[in-house]
Chain A
Amino acid sequence: MPGKNFFPLTARLAGLKLRRSPFTIAVAAGLPAFLVYLGLRESPAAAMKFFLLFFPYVFLLVAQDLAGTEIRGGGLENVLFLGGDFRRYLWLKNPALAAAAAAYAAGLFLPLVVWAAARGTFDAFSLAQFGLGLLAGLYYLALAGALSYFLQAGSNVVIILLVQAAALVSLLLSATSRSGFIEHLGDGRFPDLGSRLLLLGFASFFPNLIVSRRLLAGALAVGAGLALALAVQKALLRRLELHK
Chain B
Amino acid sequence: MLHVSGLGKSFGAVRALRGVTFSVGKGRITALLGENGAGKTTTLRIVLGFLRPDAGTAACGAARLGYVPDQPAFFAWLTGRDLLDLTRRSLGAGRLKWQSRVRGLCEKLLFDPALLERRPGTYSAGNAKKFACLQGLAMGPDLLVVDEPFSALDPPSVKRLRDLFLELRDGGASVLLSSHMLAEMVRIADDFVVLRRGEVVARSGFAEFLSRFRPADAVGLEEAFLGLMRGEAQMTEPSGMTAPLGTTMIPPTMT
Using Cβ atoms and an 8 Å threshold, which residues of chain A touch B74? 75, 78
B63 touches A78 (CB 8 A): no
Contact across chains for B65 and A1 when beta carbons are under 8 A apart? yes
Q: Does A41 contact B (CB under 8 A)?
A: no
**Quick one: which of B50-100 are within 8 Å of A by CB?**
50-52, 62-67, 69, 71-78, 82-83, 86-87, 89-92
The CA-CA distance from A1 to B141 in the complex, in Å, is: 12
With A9-B89, A242-B50 known to touch, is A74 a contact of B71 (CB < 8 Å)?
yes
Partner of A83, one of B52, B67, B72, B91: B91
A80 within 8 A of B: yes
Interface stretch, picked from A12-20, A118-126, A194-202, A210-218, is A12-20
Q: Which of B49, B66, B86 contacts A82 (CB 8 A)?
A: B86
One digit per residue, 1 when the CB lies within 8 angstroms of any chain A CB and 0 when it does not, for chain B 169-200 equals 00000000000000000000000000000000
Contact of A77 among B67, B87, B139 (CB under 8 A): B67
Are A74 and B82 neighbours in the complex by a CB distance under 8 Å? no
The secondary-structure label for the interface of chain B is loop
Smallest CB separation, A85 vs chain B (Å): 6
Q: Which B residues lie within 8 Å of A75 (CB)?
A: 73-76
B48 touches A80 (CB 8 A): yes
Q: Does A42 contact B (CB under 8 A)?
A: no
Q: Does A187 contact B (CB under 8 A)?
A: no
A215 to B213, CA, bound (A): 77
A window 1-17: CB within 8 A of B: 1, 3, 5-6, 8-9, 12-13, 16-17
- CB pair B73–A81 under 8 Å, yes or no, is no
Task: Count residues of chain A with CB under 8 A from any CB of chain B.
Answer: 30
Q: Which of B52, B62, B73, B92 contacts A74 (CB 8 A)?
A: B73
Looking at A6, A83, A84, A242, the one whose CB has the most chain B CB atoms below 10 A away is A83
Give complex CA distance A12, B73 in Å. 19
Q: B108 an interface residue at 8 Å Cβ cutoff?
A: no
Complex Cα gap A9–B49 (Å) = 20
Are A81's CB and B87's CB within 8 A?
yes
- CB-based contact B89/A12 at 8 Å: yes
Tally of B interface residues using CB under 8 Å: 32
A1 touches B63 (CB 8 A): yes
Contact B86 A17 (CB under 8 A): no
Most buried by A among B48, B86, B139: B86
Once A3-B90, A74-B69, A242-B51 are accepted as A-B contacts, the answer to whether A81 and B75 lie under 8 Å apart by CB is no
- Give Cα A20–Cα B76 distance, bound, in whole angstroms: 10
Q: Which residues of B contact A241 (CB under 8 A)?
A: 50-52
Q: A242 vs B86: C-alpha distance in the bound complex, in angstroms?
A: 21
Q: Please determine whether A9 and B90 come into contact, CB atoms closer than 8 angstroms.
A: yes
Closest chain B CB from A153 CB (angstroms): 11
Among A1, A9, A12, chain B packs the most CB atoms within 10 A around the CB of: A1
Chain A residues with CB under 8 A of B87: 81-82
B135 at the interface (CB under 8 A from A): yes
Asked if B26 is at the interface of the complex by the 8 Å CB criterion, the answer is no
- The answer on a CB contact under 8 Å between A83 and B90 is yes
- Asked if B50 and A81 sit within 8 Å, CB to CB, the answer is no
Query: B interface vs A, CB < 8 Å?
Result: 45, 48-52, 62-67, 69, 71-78, 82-83, 86-87, 89-92, 135-136, 139
Closest 8 CB pairs of A and B: A74-B73, A83-B90, A242-B50, A81-B87, A82-B90, A20-B77, A75-B75, A241-B51
Residues in chain A within 8 A of chain B (CB atoms): 1, 3, 5-6, 8-9, 12-13, 16-17, 20-21, 69-70, 73-75, 77-78, 80-86, 241-244
List 28 A-B residue pairs with CB atoms under 8 Å apart, sorted by A's residue number.
A5-B92, A9-B86, A12-B86, A13-B75, A16-B78, A17-B77, A70-B75, A73-B73, A74-B71, A75-B75, A77-B48, A77-B50, A77-B67, A77-B73, A80-B48, A80-B66, A81-B135, A82-B86, A82-B87, A82-B90, A83-B90, A84-B90, A85-B49, A86-B49, A86-B50, A241-B51, A242-B51, A243-B51
